[in-house]
Amino acid sequence: MSPKNTKPNLSHSQVSEIVKRLYRLTASVIQSLPSYDDQNFYVAPSEGGEYILKIMNSEDSKNTLLIEVQTYAMSVLQQNGIPAQTALPNTSGEIMSLEEIDCGYGSQKYLVRLLTYVPGTTISKVPLTPQLLYETGKTAAKMDTVLKKMKHPHLHVLEREGFKWSLSNVALLEDYLYVLDGEPLLEVVKSVIEAYKSSVDPKRSSFRKCINHGDFNDLNVLVQPNDKEGYRITGILDFGDMNSGYYIHELAITVMYMMTEHPKPIEVGGPVLAGWESVLPLNEAEKDCLYVLVLSRFCQSLVLARYSVTLQPENEEYLMISSRKGVNILQQLWELGKEQVEKLWFETAAQLSDKSERQEQTH
């Protein structure tokens, strides 16, 4: 999370000026969109088309190579049939530019990109049927297999040592536990961190490495109705948490965020897992760590959201979206225990996989 006063706060007139100067477009419609620590605008120019103007916070804007790799990854996914936004070149032919802007607290430098608009509604707003959850797991796995093959001279920037949202760095949460002082939740979070250290750390060498999107959440996955009275995934947003990680991390993150949107959260793991394994079956070490990694992501979300609120109290409602729902689910998962949760997830996944195979054979 970036320090105070790094989040951009551009006015509509500043947005209009940037779009005109950098892209030679006249913005006839500008709408502000929610963002964790950047600023996003929907822009419809009078020349036609729909775009998202993304202004990175001044702290992350210092990492130009990282943003360049993230933006490149989006175009690679789009070329490989995974629906992601792509960046429009500006008048200089660049996919991004560093702009010096005064948002009311002195002039700061912000990275600016104009991204294609991906239509759809967030998956958080539609019923999470087993079929849609299966598709979510399948899409996340496909995405990671494409990212794994990606070539770029600066891929090393995705190592991101010390990145606190990485599931490789769960122990870093200990520095932020003071935000839960006096709450019953604190003991559960401490217990999960200990379980992570004792059961995940020793098995990491058996995990398969890849590049993670790192934030495959219910607000970053877009869907549209399909022709079978269900929904299909039409967009994946926000690659700001991309990092070198492991396949099992992506799966755990996907399961965790889909749980926050389901009336019976415990039932989410099976269908997501089945979809994932239709592309990438897990090895034994990965299977054994899934439960603790899902719990660990809940802890990251809860603790880091609380910490973010101390920096941006005015953004509390948006920052705490996943976090509020997560408290009860984390406690429920922890109380049920590894054995019971895994039994449900893996048995459901096996049933759905059999059903899916039978359907393919009859077509």
**Residues with catalytic roles:** 215
| Rg over CA atoms, the chain | 21
Whether 253 contacts 216, CB under 8 Å: yes
C-alpha separations of 168 from 110, 247, 258 in Å = 29, 12, 21
Q: Which amino acid is at 262?
A: H
Which residue, among 353, 343, 140, has the nearest Cα to 251 in the 3D structure? 140
Return the closest-CA partner of residue 6 out of 115, 97, 111, 87: 111
| Residue 343 and residue 318 in contact, taking contact as beta carbons nearer than 8 Å | no
Q: Which residues lie below 8 Å from residue 137, measured CB to CB, with a gap of 6+?
A: 251, 254, 255, 271, 272, 273, 274, 275, 276, 277, 278
The SS3 of residue 320 is: coil
Place of tokens 């998202």: 52
Report the Cα 167 to chain-centroid distance in Å: 12
Phi and psi of 223, rounded to 5°? -135, 160
Q: What is the DSSP string of 124-183?
A: GGS---HHHHHHHHHHHHHHHHHHHT---TTGGGGG-TT-TTSTT-GGGGGGGGGGGTT-
The Cα 46–Cα 29 span in angstroms is 8
Strand order in the sheet with 39-45: 27-33, 39-45, 51-55, 107-116, 97-102
Alpha helical stretches, state H, the chain: 12-23, 64-79, 130-148, 185-195, 247-259, 269-277, 284-311, 316-319, 321-336, 338-362
